[in-house]
């Protein structure tokens, strides 16, 4: 399994953004605000992105497009994710 934490874009510093390859057959991405408290900040609900947790995603560009509004994407990350998939192929 691989996991990469990305640098948030300005204005999205509250989010933890991660992408990776899970050898159970999918790429995945999450955008989560772990510090948000609905009791103290009910009017500032964060965006949440979670893909590849239930559905199968076999193209790394799909997860990168999902997090692109929130994070700076390194130019070589899609290549790195494909290499992770090749190094750790889907389990049968």
* 80 lies in some domain: yes
pLDDT at site 21: 97
Low-confidence residues of the chain, pLDDT below 50? Answer: none
Distance, in Å, from the CA atom of 64 to the CA atom of 51, rounded to the nearest integer, reads 11
Looking at residue 65, its pLDDT comes to: 97
Which domain covers residue 57, as residue numbers?
Answer: 4-87
Q: How many domains are there within the chain?
A: 1
Helical residues (DSSP H) of 1-92, grouped into ranges: 60-67, 77-87
């Amino acid at each position: 399994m691989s996991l990469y934490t990305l640098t948030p874009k300005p204005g999205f510093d509250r989010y933890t953004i991660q992408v990776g390859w899970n050898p159970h057959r999918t790429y995945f991405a999450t955008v989560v605000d772990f510090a948000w408290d609905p009791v103290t900040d009910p009017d500032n609900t964060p965006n949440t992105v979670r893909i590849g947790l239930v559905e199968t995603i076999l193209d790394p560009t799909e997860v990168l497009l999902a997090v692109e509004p929130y994070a700076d994407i390194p130019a070589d990350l899609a290549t790195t994710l494909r290499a992770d998939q090749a190094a750790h192929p889907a389990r049968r």
